[in-house]
Amino acid sequence: MPDYKTPIRDIQFTLYDVLGAEQHYQRIGAEEASRDLVEAILTEGGKFAEEVLAPLNQVGDRQGCKFENGQVTTPAGFKEAYAQYVAGGWPSLAGDPAHGGQGLPESMSVVINEMISTANWAWGMYPGLSHGAKLTLAAYGTEEQKQLYLPKLTSGEWTGTMCLTESHCGTDLGLLKARAEPQSDGSYRLTGTKIFISAGDHDMAENIVHIVLARLPDAPGGTKGISLFIVPKLDPDTLQSNNVACGSIEHKMGIHGNATCVLNFDNASGHLIGPPNDGLRCMFTFMNFARLGTAMQGMAAAQQSYQGALSYARDRLAMRALSGPKFPEQPADPIIVHPDVRRMLLTQRAIAEGGRALIYFCSQQGDILRAANSSEEEKQEADALMNVLTPIAKAFLTEAGFEAANLGVQVFGGHGYIAEWGMEQIVRDTRIAMLYEGTTGIQALDLLDRKVLVDRGHMLSFWTRVIHRFCRDNENSKMREFIRPLRRHYREWGTFTRKLGLKAMRNREEVGAASVDYMMYSGYVTLAYFWARFADAAYRALNEGAEDKAYYQGKIKTARFYFKKILPRAKHHKEVMMSGAKSLMDLDVTEF
């Protein structure tokens, strides 16, 4: 398994040079998030990820979770690592001080989540889902529910899950059958089976708080009849069984260290969260958090695979450079001299670093939405940006991250296919990211149909205006090579969006036919914006006399690679999306 090294310098560059974290924290009233404090948190978080979690990554893959006598046991070292995580106060970093949290911005917690995710994705899913449960309870729970559950979730003493899927329904939640019967004391009794529940049962925490979708007896059919409930594994007062049992754990392609469970609710006691029959809307607080978390998985896979591939490419000797020996004192040149190996490494780097900027930017918009001193205008813009960028981040970064993981195997050649190097584990662990929290196709349909066409591109215009302002303010001789193609692409984005809208008015199948290519186009242009910002920040640092010139020049050169070698992929996706639905829909079902 590649040794994980926290990319502290790249994280700092993205936070401060590119996204202006210091100004951002002041703007949202989080003055306590000083640079000195953030630097200390980054240092300690990096140590925990490198020294505690990374060594357990391959252990978790090889041992997996065990299910015996109705109990789930996590791999060796996982439980002890979680105890260290809780003792270090990491779960409470961005928690509400009213419930024992440290009150730092959510965007700060996202940075630590990146370290955890890259070092050991399977382990990181256990506390990761707890955060979504906290956000959902904070937004829709009663005061009594908040007082009962949030202190334990904030401290990490208890963990949380999201229970949506059933065997007969995945994304189409309107088909779910789990039912909730009201009781005289205001509680409900839930019965049903949920599948694919990540971290649904384990031995790492005292209790597990399940956020569950189910139907009331008089509920209408479809998605309009779904309610949301909080159902703990153990009674919160007595810590006795609450009739929530793990029926089995899945045998999976990857993330073996995380227990993916079948959960049986057999007359389990729970309480309603939010209004009756409005559970799907309430659950989107959790789902949107989970989608950005899954985007992180794509970015983390690219970063982890890049670190392993870069180290190997520097050491592995094979052939001579086409232009002549670069290391004549050795029997062959290291493979990093070869153009195709550089193509793969730079692609991984561009995805990892561009993805980091996209996720951090989204987390800053979340800060703005939650900040008490944000104006309504600021919140409206942040909400629109989140609505557009969340499906792009989830779908594009998981697709691109999987590509990067595969490139890591390719750099290693035959050794990449061997388990001891750990590169193939990254591929297996990452493959799920394109499936859960809504597949790539579902995210793409959400973007094009529900976020862009439904309001005639109004929400999209918030994002293209951000890109427009950047292009307007950075038109100079040094930045021209980035600004001109970026301006051309964002203008084109709006033009063909309108054309797709007109086509969709004549034939709704056009939306589904174009959506994935539309999403990929959107992702490539979005990352182009962030790489242009990287180049701009690097030029500014060099103009100000930065000492580490090679570092900043490396950002500019990588931006140039992205614009020359990666951004042109967007043209292919534009041509495919505009080619129409006819070739897809011509065959009758019986002709397949």
Q: Is the Cβ–Cβ distance between 111 and 11 less than 8 Å?
A: yes
Cα distances (angstroms) measured from residue 534 to each of 174, 236, 362, 560, 561: 43, 48, 16, 11, 13
Three-state secondary structure along 426-463?
HHHHHHHHHCCCCCHHHHHHHHHHHHHHHHCCHHHHHH
Is 245 buried (19+), middle (13-18) or exposed (0-12) by CB count in 10 A?
A: middle
Three-state secondary structure call for residue 257? coil
Let me know: does 277 contact 224? Beta carbons within 8 Å: yes
Task: Identify the burial level of 428 via C-beta atoms within 10 angstroms of its C-beta, where 0-12 means exposed, 13-18 middle and 19 or more buried.
Answer: middle
E strands of 105-187, at which residues? Answer: 158-163, 179-182
Which of these is catalytic: 106, 353, 399, 437? 437
Return the amino acid letter for 573: H
Helix, coil or strand: residue 333: coil
How far is Cα 37 from Cα 180, in angstroms, rounded to an integer?
46
181 catalytic? Reply is no
Between CA 556 and CA 562 the distance in angstroms is 10
Q: What is the DSSP string of 293-313?
A: HHHHHHHHHHHHHHHHHHHHH
Active site residues: 437
